[in-house]
Structure 1
Amino acid sequence: MNPGNRPDAGQVGVLGLGYVGLLLALSLARQGRSVVGVDSSPHVRAELRAGRPQFFEPGLDELLTAELGRRFTVADQLPDTPLDAVIICVGTAVHPVTKRPDLRDLTSALEHVAEHVGDDTLVVVRSTVPVGTTRDVIVPKLRERVARPLVAFCPERTIQGKALAEIVSLPQVIGADDERSLARAEELFAPVAPDQVTVSSLGAAEMVKLACNSHTDLIYGFGNEIALMSEALGLDADEVIAAANLRYPRPDLSRPGYVGGSCLIKDPHLLRYSAEQAGYRPPMVLAARHVNELVPRVVADHVLTALAAKGCSPDEATVLVCGMAYKGRPETDDVRGSAAVEVAATLRGRVSRLLGHDFVVAPERIEGLGYQPVELPAGLADADALLVLVDHPRYAEQLRHEVVRKQMRSPAVVVDMWGVLADELADAPDVEYRRFGHGIR
C-alpha cells in the first residue's frame, strides 16, 4: 500500500509522551517518519520543547536533541487534517483499592482521536487494556466518525533501561480484526520493528501483553514464596534456589526480590478482570500478585524487628532506604510501583527519621515518596538501619564494610532485599545483616 495516496502521507500522531509514547515517537522519527507528539500536560510539553525529557532512559536525551524540530514536534492536540496514523500511548491504571481498571485517560484520549481521524487514518492502541477494550470501546467510538475505522492493537513489551534497543529488536505483536487494518499496522511498524508477530484479533493481541507481564509476575512470585517459606523454616532461599537450578534442565527458579514497576503491579489485575468478566476467576494470577504485594511490608518489618533486637527503639531510630526506583538493574528513575512507596507507608510514624537515596531519581521525587532525600554518605552518618531495596550495582561498590561500620551507629542494622551486600557484610563484625529469604535459625 502506497502511503502517498493517503492524506498527510507518512505523518504519525502519538498521544501520550511518557515512557511508552515518547520512545516510540522518537524511534519512528529516527526512521524517517514525520511525528507529532501530543500530551495533555503543559509542563511535559514545555520541557520536551526545551529538549528536557521527564524521565531517564539511556540514549533518550541524544535522540530527542537529534529529532526535535526536525521530524518530531510537540503539540497540545492533533492537527485538523487527518493523519496517516494515530497511536494511543496514554497510561492506564487500576483503582488502588478495588483493583478494577481505570481507563479515564484512555477514554479522554479516544474522544480527542475520534474528532481528528479520517477514513484512511489507522488508529493503533498501544496502551495496556483489559481484553475486549479495543473492540468494545475504541472501535464503536471511532465508528461515530468513520464507517469502517482502521484499528490495530500493538502492545509495547520493552524493559526500561534498554527500551530504545528493544523497540527495534523485540518482536512486535500486531492484532487486528480485518486484513486492511493489519496490513497498515505492519507497514507502520516495519521500519522500527521488522520482526513482527501477527495474531488473529484485537483481543488476542491485548491478551498477549497481559499474559507476558502476568507470567513474569507469577514466576517471580514463586521465588518470593520460596523466600517466605525459607524464612519460616530457617533456611536460605538463595542457597535452595541456586542448588535447585544448578545443572538441572527444567526451567530456572527465580531469585527472590521485589516485583514492581507500573506494568507488573497492574497488568495481572487487568488480566484477572478480563477473565472474571467472562466468568472465570484465575487463582494463579491472584495468588502471585498477593505474594508479591506482601514483600515490601515483610522487609520493612524486618527493619523494625532488627532494630528492636539490638535494643534500639524504632521510634528513636534513623533509617536510610536505598533505592527509590522500582528496580536498579538496568537503572531507571521510574518510581511507579516502587517498593519504596509501600516501605514508606509501613515505616512512616514508626521511626524517627526516614531518609531516602537513589542514584537516578531526583531529590524532589524522593521527597514526594515520603522520604528526606540525602546523598549516600550523609544518609549513612549516624543511621541506625540501612534498607537496600534494589540491586543497583553501585550499592555493592559503595556500601563497603569499612564505610558502613565507620558511618552507621553500631551495631549497624542492614536489611538487604536482593543480597547485593552479602559478600561484603554477611559475616562482618559490628553489622546485623539480614537478607530477604534468609531465615534465622
Structure 2
Amino acid sequence: MPKTVGVVGMGYVGLTLTAAMAAKGYRVHGVDANPEVVQALSRGRVHVYEPGVAEVFADHLGTGVTVGHTLPDGEPLDAVILCVSTPVDLASGAPRLGNLAEAAACAGQRLVVVRSTVPIGTSRAVVLPRLDEGARLVMAPERTIQGQALRELVELPQVIGGLDEASLREGVELFEGLADRIVPVSSLEAAEMVKLANNCHTDLIYAYGNELALVAEQHRLDPLEVIRAANLDYPRPDLARPGYVGGGCLTKDPYLMRASATTSLVGHARALNERLPSHVAGRLVGLIRETFGETRGRRLSVLGWAYKGWPATDDMRGTPIADMMPVFTAAGLTVLGHDPLVTDEVIREYGGQPVSLDKAFTEADAMLIVNDHPDYRGMEIGETSIRVLFDSWRVLDTDRHAGVLAGRGIRYAGIGYTR
C-alpha cells in the first residue's frame, strides 16, 4: 500500500523530495511557513527551478500532492519528513537550528525523518526531545545535485540511521519505495556525518584546485595546462579545475562540520574558496586599469549570475557575484548583467543592469564570464566593444576563439591565468 507522508519545508530539499515521492506513488502533504510559497504551489506554480518538478506537480497536484500551512489533521501519516532550513550565522558561522526545533515540535507520535543537513548530534539533541513519547526517529540525509535531483533521489544510495532498531526498520520501509538502494548505518550520528563528509570533501577538492591556480598565477603559468598534464593517465585521484564554490550546501556544510568537532583542514579550505571571488574581482579591475588607464566610468558585462552554470540553475545562494560587486562598485564600474535563468529583477537586486547577450558584447568595455552555462560555451564572438575578457571557466579558451580574441586585441584571462 502506498505510503502517506508529510514533508515540512518546501525549499529545494523538500520540494524535490515531494515531487520524487509523488512520481513514485506516495501521497505527499507539503507544508511551508511562507504563505506565498504555499499559495504558489497550491496553484501549481513551482518557485524553484529544477527540471521535472513542475511537470510532476502538474500531474499530481490535488491527488498525490497537497500543500498547506500545517500537517493535515484528518488523514493519518506514515511519516513526517523534516526538510526545513538550517542556516549558519553569517558573522560567527554558528548553526541556527530554531527552524528544525520548531518543526520537530509539530511532528507528533509517528516516524519522524530528519532530512535537513545538521551538525553531528543534532537529531538526538534537538529533534528527539521535542517529539511525542513513542515517536520513532531516523536521519536520512539528502545528497542530490541541482539539475539532477529527481533522478538522483531514486538512483543514489539512501543512507539511513535510526534511533533504535524499530526506527531504522520503519525508515528503511519508508524509503524502499523511492530509492533503488538503501544503506543502513549504525546511528543517527553516523548518517548525519555522511552528508557532512560528502560535502566537505567536495569543498576540499575544489579548494586544492583553486590553490593550484593561485600558485600558477604567481609563477605566470597556466593552471589548466598543469592540471591536465598531472591528470593524464595518472592512476591517483584527479585534480579539480579551479572555480568558484557556491550553492546552499557547500557554503554552509563546512561550518556545520566545524560546529560538530574541532577541525582545521575544513575551515582553511572554506576560507580559500570564499576568498576567490573577491580575488578574481580585484584581478579583473587591475586588468581594466592596465588596459584603459582608469576604471571609473567603464562598463563591465557579467555573464552568469547564478552560483553555477551546469547543471543549470537559477540559485543565487553563494553566488560569486555577491562578493564581487563591492569590488566593482569601489572601482567605479557600471555592471551590466545577463543570465539564461536568473530574472532581470534579481540581477537588479544585486546591483546589475540587465542586458541581452548581444548587448553584453557591444555595450561594455570588459566582460566577466562567471559560470559555464551551456549558452556561454557555444556562443560566437561577433561585433564587440570588449577589450578585456575574464573567462572564469575558460569556456572560450579554444582554437576557434583564440584567433578571434587575438585578432581583435582582446586581453584574455581566467582564474590563475592571463594570456
TM range, smaller chain: over 0.9
1:98 alignment counterpart: 92
- 314, 324, 344: which one pairs with 1:333? 314
Q: Cα distance, 1:101 vs. partner?
A: 0.6
Kept in 2: contact 1:230–1:439 (CA 8 A): no
- Is 1:111 equivalent to 2:105 in the alignment? yes
Gaps of 5+ in 2: none
Q: Which among 381, 388, 394 is matched to residue 419 of structure 1?
A: 394
How far residue 348 of structure 1 moved from its aligned partner, in angstroms, is: 2.3
AA of the residue aligned to 1:83? L
2:100–2:127 CA contact under 8 A, matched in 1: no
CA distance in 1, matches of 2:99, 2:326: 27
Equivalent position of 1:134 in the other structure: 123
Q: Distance in 1 between matches of 2:329 and 2:53?
A: 35
* Counterpart position of 2:20: 27
Q: Is the 8 Å Cα contact of residues 171 and 195 (structure 1) preserved in structure 2?
A: yes
Structure 2: how far apart are the matches of 1:346 and 1:103?
Answer: 33
1:83-135 Cα shifts (integer Å, max 9, x gaps): 2100000111111111111222222322332xxx12xx100000000000000
**Match for residue 392 of structure 1 among 373, 377, 382:** 373
Report the CA distance between 1:439 and its aligned residue: 5.3
* Superposition deviation, residue 223 in structure 1: 0.3
- Aligned counterpart for 1:244 among listed residues 227, 230, 253: 230
Paired with 2:311 and 2:296, the residues of 1 have a C-alpha distance of 35
- Contact 2:136/2:163 (8 A) holds in 1: no
Using the alignment, how far apart are the partners of 1:368 and 1:254 within structure 2? 32
Instruction: Tell whether the 8 Å contact from 1:232 to 1:439 is kept in structure 2 after alignment.
Output: no
Q: Which residue of 2 aligns with 1:75?
A: 68
The residue number in structure 2 matching 1:160 is: 146
Residue 437 of structure 1 aligns to which amino acid in structure 2? G
Kindly provide the CA deviation profile for residues 262-286 of structure 1, in whole angstroms up to 9, marking residues without a partner as x. Answer: 10011011101111xxxxx312101
Structure 1 stretches of 5 or more lacking a match?
4-8, 276-280
Who is 1:282 aligned against?
263
Amino acid at match of 2:38: R
Please list the CA deviations of residues 334-385 of structure 1 after superposition, one character each: whole Å capped at 9, or x if unmatched. Answer: 1111112111232224233112211011111222222222221223322011
Cα distance in 1, alignment partners of residues 78 and 407 from structure 2: 63
- Relative distance call for 1:351 and 1:27 in structure 2 (3 A) is same
For residue 273 of structure 2, what is the aligned residue in structure 1?
A: 292
**Number of paired residues?**
414
Structure 1 residues 26-65: aligned runs within 5 Å: 26-65=19-58
What is the deviation of 1:396? 2.3
Alpha-carbon distance in 1 for matches of 2:355, 2:163: 52
Which amino acid in structure 2 is aligned with residue 438 of structure 1? Y
Specify whether residues 62 and 30 from structure 1 end up closer, same or farther in structure 2 by C-alpha distance, changes over 3 A only.
Answer: same
TM norm structure 2: 0.95
Residues 81-92 of structure 1 mapped to structure 2, 5 A cutoff: 81=74, 82-92=76-86
TM-score (norm 1): 0.91
- Do the aligned partners of 1:318 and 1:352 also contact (CA within 8 Å) in 2? yes
Residues 144-199 of structure 1: per-residue CA shift (max 9 Å, x gap): x32x3200000010000111000000000101120111111111111111301111
Q: 2:160 & 2:64 partners in 1: Cα distance?
A: 25
- Contact 1:318–1:351 (CA under 8 A) maintained in structure 2: no
1:258-315 Cα offsets, whole Å, 9 max, x none, are 111110011011101111xxxxx31210111111111101111121001111124212
Aligned ranges for residues 282-321 of structure 1 at < 5 Å?
A: 282-321=263-302
**RMSD of the alignment, in Å?**
1.5
Quick one: which amino acid aligns to residue 100 of structure 1?
A
Letter in 2 for 1:42: P
How many angstroms does 1:428 deviate by?
4.4
Quickly say closer, same or farther: Cα 1:345–1:104, change in 2 above 3 A. farther
CA distance in 1, matches of 2:314, 2:29: 25
